[in-house]
Structure 1
Amino acid sequence: MTDAETVTWKRIDAIVMKWIYSTVSLDILNTIIAPDDEAKDAWNRVADLFQDNKNTRVVHLETQFTNTHLRDFPNVAAYCQRLKVLANQLANVGAKVSDDRITTTK
């Protein structure tokens, strides 16, 4: 890598670091901030914080999905939208809901 490329890389890295630091809460910032870090390191620490919580999140979302009933919604559209949101959230944490399960939910 040339000197110019190194300077450009460090500048881009600093911009990404600033973005990460400015978009997380103060508590998370205090947890992830470290001297002489690169953006990749900060990003990985943020990801680790949220992935540590993954199993708990899956259990919580599964419970919500299982306990979602049509009778609790004003119409079928609202009920289906809620199931879709929960299914998407479960997929985001690696617990994809099968199409069969979505269509057979009561």
Structure 2
Amino acid sequence: MDFPDSNFLTWSTFFNNTFRKFCLMDHVDYTMLKLDDADWTQTDYCIVYWLHSSVSREILNIIIKLQDTTAYSSRMAITGLFLDNSMQQAIYAQQELHSLYQGELSITEYCGRLKRFADTLRNVDAPLAD
């Protein structure tokens, strides 16, 4: 799925840092889930709420489930939406990057577009070399 002007990298970085800062990695690492612990489950529902409230309604409608929702499953569903078809996304972003020229764009707009292409390529595991 293609979401124009995606902020996936920002979103992902923010949540990865938040999970580490508050020692919540056990909620997003499949090997550490504690589904039989009531306190852990309550915290997990709070994280699900954070994740669901941080995405657009369009994305939420795609990923939401009525049951068996965990922070891990929600995060994987959101991530999957942005990383599906990563090879096609990489090819498209590389073509767009190579055809980009400044023209009438301000330097800020031009650099912003370059950064978006670089971020897209990094998101799909095809980072630009320096």
What TM-score comes out, normalization by structure 1 length?
0.67
**Contact 1:69 1:79 (8 Å CA) reproduced:** no
Q: Relative to structure 1, is the Cα distance of residues 51 and 92 closer, same or farther in structure 2, using a 3 angstrom cutoff?
A: closer
Q: Measure how far apart 1:45 and its partner are.
A: 1.3
Cα RMSD for the two superposed structures: 2.7
SS in 2 for 1:98: coil
Report 1:11-22 matches (<5 A): 11-22=42-53
Q: Which residue is equivalent to 1:95?
A: 126
Normalized per residue, which structure has more helix?
Answer: 1
Q: Relative to structure 1, is the Cα distance of residues 44 and 64 closer, same or farther in structure 2, using a 3 angstrom cutoff?
A: same
When the two structures are aligned, how many residues end up with a matched partner? 93
1:65 has 2:109 as partner: no
Gaps in structure 2 of 5+ consecutive residues: 1-35
The letter for the 1-side match of 2:60 is: L
- The percentage of counterpart residues that share the same residue type is 25
Gaps in structure 1 of 5+ consecutive residues: 100-106
Q: Distance in 2 between matches of 1:11 and 1:19?
A: 13
Q: Which has the larger radius of gyration?
A: 1
Q: Relative to structure 1, is the Cα distance of residues 48 and 88 closer, same or farther in structure 2, using a 3 angstrom cutoff?
A: closer
Higher relative CO (CA 8 A, sep ≥ 6), structure 1 or 2?
Answer: 2
1:55 has 2:55 as partner: no
What TM-score comes out, normalization by structure 2 length?
0.57
**Contact 1:32 1:45 (8 Å CA) reproduced:** yes
